[in-house]
Structure 1
Amino acid sequence: MTRHPYLSPAPPRVLAHRGLVTAHDATLGVVENSFAAVAGAHAAGVEYVESDCHLTADGVVVLFHDDDLDRVAGDPRKISDVRLPELEELMADRGGLVTLPQALEAFPDVRFNLDVKAEAAAEPVGRLIAPHAARVLVTSFSDDRRRVALAAAVTAGASLPPATSPGSATVGRLVAAQALGLRRRVERLLGGLDALQIPERQGPIRVVTRGLVRAAHAAGVEVHVWTVNDPADMERLLDLGVDGLVTDHADLALAVVNGR
């Protein structure tokens, strides 16, 4: 199986979860998914930045996790109800808002892992990433949103489909099939995927197992685990064979990976 260019060179990979906000950055008011957070990850030497996509009231794709501004800015409004200029003003002293086009243009050597959070954002995300498909992975908790974004990228002229990781429904079916020993079903569910981005556990259920990692690798699919912030957990998961660590502490994870 040909490896997607997003997944070169060889693993392990460190994916900066919503960028990188150090303790010092936080004292300055910098928040996740801001321009400063992406720049901080880049400055630390991180090649992969995980982020999230929403659509503003005036149709601009922005990097933002929540569907509202409450947690980040103390404003209860939805991202979809706020126009870009006002959102930029709200984020000005929080590290700066970053739109998806700005992120792709300002950081040409960063590979972006984009989680499509809003249905309305899926098609615009696909169009915007089309020229950058070799360095973008598209995912979403919704497989429908993910597929819309992938199709939009191809329709917009992407030279190859972006890399992709499945939604939560597919992951659930995959974990169940693996637990039941349904090898052919596992193979079918892994078909068309480039990475399997999953938590180590979901409640009482262990998601990441040695058997699942082996099955993914046999299908040419990488396994990336989120969100891993403890160095001991990083070491243990890398020993298990996982290919990527999605982490809030990308600088720490880089030290762990480079020290192996």
Structure 2
Amino acid sequence: MTALSVLPDALLRLPVAHRAYHDITQGRPENSRAAIKAAIAAGYGIEIDLQLTADGAAMVFHDYDLSRLTGQAGPLRQRSAEEAAAIPLLHGDGETIPRFEEILDLVAGRAPLLVELKDQDGAMGPAVGPLEAAAARALAGYGGPVAVMSFNPHSMAEMARLAPDLARGLTTCNYDATDWPLSGEACDRLRDIPDFDRVGASFISHQASDLSRPRVRALHGDGVPVLCWTIRSPEAEAEARKLADNITFEGYRAAIPG
């Protein structure tokens, strides 16, 4: 078993804004500087996503492909960091794709960060390393509350090797095979969260509609913090909080517990 890391308390206490506190009607795209500044001002935790460039840099961006969020074609992975950092975000009032280091400088410990490393293998397999190395380099010496997570357990095993003191967890779900480009065998395996101990995870962030799963309840019963995604209304939040320790939310203003 890899050494256990500890989830910062602030990521249990403060609602976590999914892809930062985004709202395109207010000029705040997902994972943008404006959305991050808004989350800090509102007192929320912040969830962001990392993708890799052709030259091994970590960019704060959710999708593999550029089209939905920028209107440009092709994968982010085929662009250099310099090229990616010049691509404007749609609805972003001139904002471009941020580098991870820039966002760490912007947050500077003023809000807890939950950083999801997107799977670079394509099938939750072992072809990982460059994104994890870029994330570990950027986070070296960062003083604010932060945790990393991924759907790919191999990613978190690599983070345990590169940055063993950094809090890490697994992003988990029901792995409905109709929703995932994975084999049925892979979905069946990942659904049971078998790698939790192996990677030294200290939490999971689980699909909100699947929180009653026996494996999730067993982990929670063993004292493992359970976060959940993605909550989109106060009513859904009230239900999720019956089974989860904290929420990742979007589309409304979550209340901060007193």
Q: TM-score, normalised by structure 2?
A: 0.76
SS of aligned partner of 1:132: coil
Contact kept? 1:12, 1:242, Cα under 8 Å: no
For residues 233 and 167 of structure 2, the distance between their equivalents in structure 1, rounded to whole angstroms, comes to 30
The match for 2:167 among 162, 167, 178 is 162
Match of 2:178 in 1: none
Supply the distance in 2 between the matched residues of 1:85 and 1:189 (Cα, whole angstroms).
Answer: 36
Contact 1:138/1:150, CA 8 A, preserved across alignment: no
Pairing 1:64–2:69 present: no
Go from structure 1 to structure 2 and tell me whether the alpha carbon gap of 1:60 and 1:190 turns closer, same or farther (over 3 Å shift): closer
Question: Structure 2 matches for 1:64-213, cutoff 5 A?
Answer: 64-91=61-88, 93-109=93-109, 110-117=111-118, 118=120, 119=128, 120-132=130-142, 135-154=145-164, 160-165=165-170, 172-174=191-193, 189=196, 192-201=200-209, 207-209=210-212
TM superposition score normalised by structure 1: 0.75
Q: Which stretch shows the higher mean deviation, 110-119 or 8-17?
A: 8-17
Q: Deviations over 1:29-64 (max 9, x none)?
A: x31111111111111111x21111112223321101
Partners of 2:172 and 2:213 in 1: CA distance: 21
Q: Does structure 1 residue 38 correspond to structure 2 residue 36?
A: yes
Match of 2:231? 228
How far off its partner does 1:226 sit? Answer: 0.5
Equivalence for 1:244: 246
Percentage of matched positions with identical amino acids: 23
Cα shift at 1:219: 2.3
Alignment check: 8 A CA contact 1:133 1:161 kept: no
Compared CA separation, residues 114 and 78, structure 1 to 2 (3 A): same
1:177 is matched with none
- Residues 58 and 226 (structure 1 numbering): CA distance in 2 closer, same or farther, change over 3 Å? same
Which has the larger helix fraction? 1
Partner Cα distance (1:166, 1:141) in 2? 5
Runs of 5+ unmatched residues, structure 1? 155-159, 175-185, 202-206
Following the alignment from structure 2 to structure 1, what is the Cα–Cα distance between the partners of residues 204 and 53?
29
Q: Which residue of 2 aligns with 1:17?
A: 18
Deviation at 1:124, TM superposition (A): 1.6
Q: Secondary structure at the match of 1:252?
A: coil
Q: Tell me how many residue pairs correspond in the alignment.
A: 227
Provide the rounded CA distance (Å) in 1 between the counterparts of 2:192 and 2:42.
37
RMSD: 2.9
> Alpha carbons of 1:10 and 1:84: their partners in 2 closer, same or farther (altered >3 Å)?
closer
* SS of structure 2 residue aligned to 1:197: strand
Change (3 A) 1:134 1:147: farther
Q: Distance in 2 between matches of 1:220 and 1:258?
A: 21
5+ residue gaps, structure 2, are 121-127, 174-186
